[in-house]
Structure 1
């Protein structure tokens, strides 16, 4: 076997040397790009440019590596090269081990500084204050719908959406011992409890369920108390040394959560973009029909429509809308102009690349 492996390993070593040389050349070019950006005070992180690179990599990929695996490799290359200019700081709902943290690394790679926050409100505050360059906040789950606190904060924030991340969400039930013996309470974020409700009703209907600030906080509680079980990611379980009682307990096997990347960066068109806005309808018959008519008129597709109470005691609502295309696209720009003229309240939350 050694006779067969030796020449193959020699070829791999030679290719690795070439890869290393190419990485060095790419990094030096990235440094030159950084010098040019510094002259004009341009941002280090350009999500539209990185999205274009990752799409091109997937399109050119000859295999046998899958597109996702190749994109993961290139995302880390871009992250490392970007860090030569400046390590961006990204705020997220902590502590370490949450799905929000997973979304951060999926968007930015690992060559960054992270800022775990105790609440979604704090993520917005840190990003608005400039303590963090960007924040990552959950927007909606495929099983349980919108994250209402995020929508409410989007209404008043000074930040804009500059990207989105969609990740699969697999929940595991874990304890300090890997057993449910002696467990009196199951802790998790309220969304996670809702996403696992049917499974919990079937297997542990008599055990108290307690909502906490995040699944990672539940994992910490379980790591310190054998009477507590946590619903969290397996990553959190490994980090806090928990034993898995049962993996993948979410009711929907295709459960996903979508996150928004917020910051002060207005992105340029990437070629495959989405625009998010919030608006109110005038209080008259047929208001919503007339309000949204410009979308049909200009051929702009609406991919999401969510309503939230205006909280003014008058049964009025704000409507959160996602549109295909960038606000600089001619059709989208024309539709937005007519929408703004008709709506009593109108705010573009951002135009950004669609999640890969």
Structure 2
């Protein structure tokens, strides 16, 4: 034991020295970030507002972090650390307000924090339409909305909001959805007869609930956050919700990762007012309407096939402009500035009744 004490003390001294170096380097990085802000401000044209947040630049930085990582920390953990450093540095340039589909404590808030870090102000709104309006008006810099879940499918309200919106897609977030069974400080765990959650969460945990609480009433509420809030006044209830809700409402996790599908993932979109330059690994989203005739879908997809463009999503929605007419929401790999994308889009524009480009944006890094 006596021989190990000097070794332990030496290790702690080394850690303290490294901590000092890390702290000095973070502050040096922050100083450079402030200088970048000054240069951007001086370079902005008269009456034009400087753009401080650059999604393509941040994606490139995070990819470099992951590519050069040697461990023992895994790539995602290392990237998350840099994400927070970048977040606080950006806050020195311009504090940002991010609107998201609320209420507070939802997975959408978790997605906003994952993408922007914790140094931004997040504002919960009641509906997806409100998120779009808040960003369009300039009251929020960006918005975060869910667009699809690997288990439950597309979020149609988000797709419909793009039809008449002037906003563009600036980024995407993929969030692994882990559900927890939560209880409050006054919950009698042996007497749980009611379990609150959002309808989708109850569906995603059905098998676990059948095995562990077959006789408990499953009560669908407006959000998982609302489910967590209700526990403050009920002694015989539990809630299914995520990590953020547990922290906000100071709840205990009675069981973790109770979702039936361990790969359950939700994709969120970042919406804003600026177009995003290419980052090197990008996706593009468009809305297309075709004439209702035989072979219309084949004709639409042929330009992408001929150009060797990888489609990642094709979704169909009824058009509001006529009976039995449809809109195609298409996601594909590449940036709208790429030559093969320009060529394919030119061909689609010639045959489509309607074409709207929703934006090109970096692929999800975290």
TM-score (structure 1 length as normaliser): 0.94
Partner in structure 1 of residue 229 of structure 2: 220
User: Is 1:15 equivalent to 2:24 in the alignment?
Assistant: no
**2:228–2:240 Cα contact (<8 Å) kept:** yes
SS at match of 2:40: helix
> Per-residue deviation at 1:120?
1.9
Partner in structure 2 of residue 72 of structure 1: 80
Q: Tell me which of 100, 106, 118 is aligned to 1:98.
A: 106
Counterpart-to-counterpart distance in 2, 1:355 and 1:238: 26
Q: Tell me which of 318, 322, 327 is aligned to 1:318.
A: 327
Deviations 1:310-356 (A, max 9, x none): 24561222111101001111111111121122111211111100001
Partner in structure 1 of residue 167 of structure 2: 159
Counterpart-to-counterpart distance in 1, 2:188 and 2:150: 30
Partner in structure 2 of residue 63 of structure 1: 71
SS at match of 2:8: helix
1:132-211 superposed matches below 5 A? 132-176=140-184, 177=186, 179=188, 181-211=190-220
Aligned length: 356
User: Is 1:37 equivalent to 2:46 in the alignment?
Assistant: no
Counterpart-to-counterpart distance in 2, 1:146 and 1:232: 20
Counterpart-to-counterpart distance in 2, 1:81 and 1:242: 32
> Per-residue deviation at 1:248?
1.8
Counterpart-to-counterpart distance in 1, 2:194 and 2:351: 51
Q: Tell me which of 243, 260, 275 is aligned to 2:284.
A: 275
> Per-residue deviation at 1:100?
0.8
Counterpart-to-counterpart distance in 2, 1:346 and 1:158: 14
Gaps of 5+ in 1: none
The alpha-carbon distance between structure 1 residues 184 and 314, as it changes in their structure 2 partners (threshold 3 A), is: farther
Larger displacement relative to structure 2 (265-274 or 151-160): 151-160
Counterpart-to-counterpart distance in 2, 1:7 and 1:182: 52
> Per-residue deviation at 1:122?
1.8
**2:187–2:234 Cα contact (<8 Å) kept:** no
Partner in structure 2 of residue 341 of structure 1: 350
Q: Tell me which of 258, 282, 307 is aligned to 1:298.
A: 307
> Per-residue deviation at 1:70?
1.1
> Per-residue deviation at 1:264?
0.7
Counterpart-to-counterpart distance in 1, 2:321 and 2:280: 39
**2:187–2:235 Cα contact (<8 Å) kept:** no
**1:304–1:322 Cα contact (<8 Å) kept:** yes
Deviations 1:270-306 (A, max 9, x none): 0000001111121111111112211112111111111
Counterpart-to-counterpart distance in 2, 1:198 and 1:315: 38
Counterpart-to-counterpart distance in 2, 1:45 and 1:316: 39
User: Is 1:249 equivalent to 2:258 in the alignment?
Assistant: yes
> Per-residue deviation at 1:238?
3.2
The root-mean-square deviation of aligned C-alpha atoms, in Å, is 1.8
Counterpart-to-counterpart distance in 2, 1:25 and 1:245: 43
> Per-residue deviation at 1:57?
0.9
User: Is 1:52 equivalent to 2:55 in the alignment?
Assistant: no
SS at match of 2:151: coil
